[in-house]
């Protein structure tokens, strides 16, 4: 019998997949909160999402410099302002290139807690629902489902056509949590970051990860108004 590897016994990461949909601030908020909660993270950034990230933040995400680029991304606010957040320690983030189908998360024997796709494009939704596994993000999602692990899909698109709705139903039936990136206003949002954090918080709620990203509803009308 082989001894239990140390990293298997101690490190069970959340895989965070970032697809090409608009909404990279959602992914940044989820990543910051996971690391703040002491969770390990495996990161997969799709090729399409690099274009979205560049367009929404001006950051070029490069395989060879991913740690520097990730730190810059996580320090940026949802309004695009740099250094809106304190520097984040990314020592417990493991990055896998989207084209690396031999990466750890591509196998069910690679231990993870589950996967969060934030944001999820309709193309990503279709690929996962149909089991295409055309890149590491889709392959990892398929592995997550077959292993019975938590999969949260934060779809970011509007309006939704019938085909996408069918794909979302298929994901729900397969055991995934379909979570539209739909901000709420009862928490007293006064800034775009508050709306982003609400969606990120709901993603973490679905994953069972504690956080303090938004004020929870406590049954009191007006509790989130600006005057309170």
Would you list which residues are annotated within the binding site for FMN?
20-22, 46, 156
Query: Cα–Cα distance between 18 and 59 in angstroms, integer?
Result: 14
9 CA to centre of own chain: 24
Query: Cα–Cα distance between 25 and 45 in angstroms, integer?
Result: 14
Residue ranges at the known binding site for dimethylallyl phosphate: 186, 202
């Amino acid at each position: 019998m082989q001894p239990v590897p140390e990293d298997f016994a101690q490190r069970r990461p959340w895989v965070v997949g970032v697809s090409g949909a608009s909404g990279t601030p959602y992914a940044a908020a989820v990543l910051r909160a996971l690391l703040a909660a002491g969770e390990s993270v495996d990161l997969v950034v799709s090729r399409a999402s690099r274009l979205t990230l560049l367009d929404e933040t001006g950051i070029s995400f490069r395989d060879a410099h991913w740690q520097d680029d990730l730190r810059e991304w996580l320090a940026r606010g949802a309004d695009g302002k740099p250094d809106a957040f304190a520097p984040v320690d990314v020592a417990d983030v493991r990055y896998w290139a989207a084209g690396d189908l031999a990466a750890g998360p591509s196998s069910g024997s690679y231990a993870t807690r589950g996967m969060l796709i934030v944001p999820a494009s309709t193309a990503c939704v279709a690929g996962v629902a149909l089991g295409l596994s055309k890149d590491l993000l889709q392959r990892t999602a398929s592995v997550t489902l077959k292993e019975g692990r938590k999969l949260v899909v934060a779809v970011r698109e509007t309006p939704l056509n019938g085909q996408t709705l069918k794909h979302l139903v298929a994901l729900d039936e397969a055991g995934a949590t379909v979570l539209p990136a739909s901000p709420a206003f009862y928490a007293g949002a006064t800034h775009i970051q508050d709306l982003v954090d609400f969606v990120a918080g709901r993603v973490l709620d679905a994953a069972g990860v504690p956080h303090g990203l938004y004020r929870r509803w406590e049954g009191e009308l007006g509790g989130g108004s600006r005057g309170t």
